[in-house]
Amino acid sequence: MAIITYRQAIKDALAEEITRDESVFMMGEEVAQYNGAYKVTEGLWERFGDKRLVDAPISEAGFIGLGIGAAMMGLRPVIEMMFFSFVYVAWDQAVNNASSIRYMSGGLINIPLVIRGPANGGTNVGATHSHTPENMVANFPGLKVVAPCTAADAKGLMKAAIRDNDPVFVMESTILYGEESEVPDDPDFIIPLGKADIKRAGTDLTIVGHGRSVLVALKAAKELKDKHGIDAEVVDLRSIRPLDEATILKSVKKTNRVLVVDENKPYCGVGAQISHLVQRKAFDYLDGPVHRLSAVDAPAIYSPPLEKIQLPSDRDIIREVELMFNINA
Amino acid sequence: MAEIIEMPKLSDTMTMGTLVNWLVKEGDSVSAGTMLAEVETDKATMEVENFEDGVVLKLYAKEGDSVAIGEPICAIGEKGESAPDVGGGKSADTPPAKAEKKEEAKKDDDAKAKDAPKSEEKEAGKAGGEKPAKTDAKDEIPVEEKKTDDSSKEDGDERIRISPLARKMAEEKSLDISAIKGTGPGGRIVKDDVLAAEKAPKPAPAKESAPAAPLSAADLLEEKTLPVTNMRAAIARALVSSKTEAPHFYLQTEVDGAPIAELRKALNDRLADLPPEQGGVKFTVNDLILKAAAEAVRRVPAINRSWKGDTIVQHGSVHLAFGVAVDDGLLTPVIRDAQSKSLRTIGSEAKELIKKARGKKLKPDEMSNSTLTVTNLGMFGITDFYGIINPPNAAILSVGATVKTPVVDDKGQITVGYRMKVGLSGDHRVIDGAVGAQYLAALREILETPALMLV
């Protein structure tokens, strides 16, 4: 076990998979010679050369389309979005083609493609650079979506995504790149897609989240315990799709109360999906309605103080839980 | 000269007998072979046979009396002879038992009396109530429902706010939700409120319009003292001595229950519907387990032993006991020489013994001198347990329910499996863990490959 950053964990995953499997290559804007806009691929071009680290022009439709073609021919491309918000210019390739080819070829052609990059708000980069499209992507049958929040999860999920035979979107966070945690050294350490993780065990309330929200929820859970004696269980989805329904439901049946937190926009967001699941499959176990916290329903706000308010904070979570438990604080 | 008839010893473990029923009365003429009375021993109810000719002069024991072995129960002599005085000590001891019995009998009668009109009412209700409902339901009932629906909408505040969980819990605990105060948001009743209401003393149902208070679970509980029946006393004695004298060790194995279930289904599909004269028979899972248990002893005979203090006996036959739950107790009838009996014989003997056990008609020699015992709680959904060894056996098998559960097959895939857990409690004075393990392994092999019982 080594303590490394989330950024390093992703880099290690990429390097290990490039070493392990000669069909794996990395492509994107400035991923090779410039070492990546967020330095996730730092040093990889020097180690692996032009064939494995490919600098692409500013043309997402072009190089994601190229990635799909390469995947159809048996390679395993990993495509970096400098910001995930840029995927929209390649929506036809990334979503329409990637999700449909296996189905339309009658299962004959797989697309072992990974599209990865930061998909988060909260860094004062403006509305067009701050999207969190995990719910949109997850809406397409044929696509898989993961959103790790720790270094270990980032590494394990990245490796699972590269080894998976279907298109997997790995939604990272620029805010988390510097977060450190313990990561197993095993070169075959993977975290299977579709496995949620109980990041904190508790008895009184289940907080379901993914991505950075999980860390915010953990912080809130600590204070809820200290301040109100409320023992929250924090369930980290890790995979948005496939979704680990069993872990969510098991937790809900234990705690009887649910708060869903994510940085997704509220309308048709991931939290809405979880909320439906819980009321449909654990209705008789609920001791109150399912509560939800998500980003304020507006384009990402540019003003830094307002942008802070837009995303759910630990204060917001505590306030919402107080509401759920009818505590007048 | 009058002959005094004493309480006979009717089973090897009997110390007291309860005189359940006199079959003769004072003044009756009796001869050798006349049955005098029914006596409940620790294991069964048996008849006491008379060997004297004469007249019943006096019944010393009354029905319901508990009488020790050797104590007088009646006198038989010449007509006109006076009965010898045997002293009243005994009967003075016993009235409580008798009173208890009578009370019980009375309760039974009461219960019957109560039952009868109820079932009549039910039937009457069925016959009378259904007709109008059928003809008028379509028109009238929806209208009524609509009315209540509307009115509840008008004064929507009347609706009780309660979480789905709290509603379910209140129903399970038979609590009236209108009497529970909600502390959740907006006064919603939540889990904690139901738990608090359950703990709180029930308010007196004094309000004017509450004639039929809902029956709470607490009303069904009643404190009472029960007499220790002879059977319970025998169970207590035997098992306390087993658990204190025989150092128990416990083993368990998990068996694939599918083959035996398939075998049973195959047999019953062919045989269950045939008339008995054409070989029709229906096997239970227990029959198959008994057969397998006996067969496994053939392979590991060391399990078939008894502790005799300075020697250990290894029996040459499997006398297989099996547990039968009866009212207020447990009996262990024995299938003799089970190792040489066919499945059909074992099945039919087991069926007969169970019937006798339930009717308390087992004779002492039908439930003594076993060499191995099988108990089964699978029908109650118990998955695993360990029985207390039935003396003088060296081991007891505890068979659990066959449960559908995910298992990893030989290819490393998770599939649906039917698993049955079989426990073994062994007497460490007689056998060691290795013998128990060998026996369980043999039993598992037979249960998983039941064709082995053919050879």
Question: pLDDT of B391-434, one tens digit each?
Answer: 999 999 999 998 999 998 888 899 999 999 999 999 999 999 99
Peptide bond preceding B275: is omega within 30 degrees of 0, i.e. cis? no
Does residue A129 carry a catalytic annotation?
Answer: yes
Residues in B closer than 8 angstroms to A285, CB to CB, are 164-165
Q: What is the rounded distance in angstroms from the CA atom of residue B346 to the CA atom of residue B320? A: 10
Residues in A closer than 8 angstroms to B168, CB to CB, are 284
Domains of chain A, start order: 2-183 (3.40.50.970), 197-324 (3.40.50.920)
Q: Cβ–Cβ of A256/B188 closer than 8 Å? A: no
Check pLDDT > 90 for residue B51. Answer: no
3-state DSSP helix/strand/coil percent for chain A, to nearest 5? 40, 20, 40
Question: pLDDT of B242-287, one tens digit each?
Answer: 999 999 999 999 999 999 999 999 999 988 888 888 888 889 889 9
- Average pLDDT for chain B: 81
Please, which pLDDT band fits residue B85 given cuts at 50, 70 and 90?
A: confident
Coil, strand or helix at B19: strand
The predicted model scores a pTM of 0.51
Please, which pLDDT band fits residue B218 given cuts at 50, 70 and 90?
A: low
The minimum CA-CA distance between B401 and chain A, rounded to whole Å, is 25
Q: What is the rounded distance in angstroms from the CA atom of residue B230 to the CA atom of residue B47? A: 16
Percent of chain A with pLDDT over 70: 100
What tokens does B414 get? 């998770």
| Domain spans in chain B, listed from the N-terminal domain onward | 3-93, 242-454
Catalytic residue, candidates A29, A60, A307, A320: A60
Check pLDDT > 70 for residue B107. Answer: no
Helices (H) and strands (E) in chain A, counts: 12, 14
CATH topology for B3-93?
Answer: OB fold (Dihydrolipoamide Acetyltransferase, E2P) (2.40.50)
Please, which pLDDT band fits residue A86 given cuts at 50, 70 and 90?
A: very high
- Average pLDDT for chain A: 96
Supply the ipTM of this predicted assembly: 0.72
Please give the helix or strand (H or E) that residue B66 lies within, else none.
strand B66-68
Q: Cβ–Cβ of B164/A323 closer than 8 Å? A: no
Q: What is the rounded distance in angstroms from the CA atom of residue B27 to the CA atom of residue B57? A: 6
Residues in chain B: 455
Contact yes or no for A274/A261 (Cβ under 8 A): no
Q: Which residue of A has its CA nearest to B187?
A: A326
Q: Mean of the pLDDT values across residues A312-320?
A: 97
Residue B163 forms contact with A (CB below 8 Å): yes
Largest Cα–Cα distance in chain B? Answer: 94
Residue B128 forms contact with A (CB below 8 Å): no
Question: pLDDT of A149-207, one tens digit each?
Answer: 999 999 999 999 999 999 999 999 999 999 999 999 898 999 999 999 999 999 999 99
Please give the helix or strand (H or E) that residue A10 lies within, else none.
helix A6-20
Q: Which CATH architecture has domain B242-454?
A: 2-Layer Sandwich (3.30)
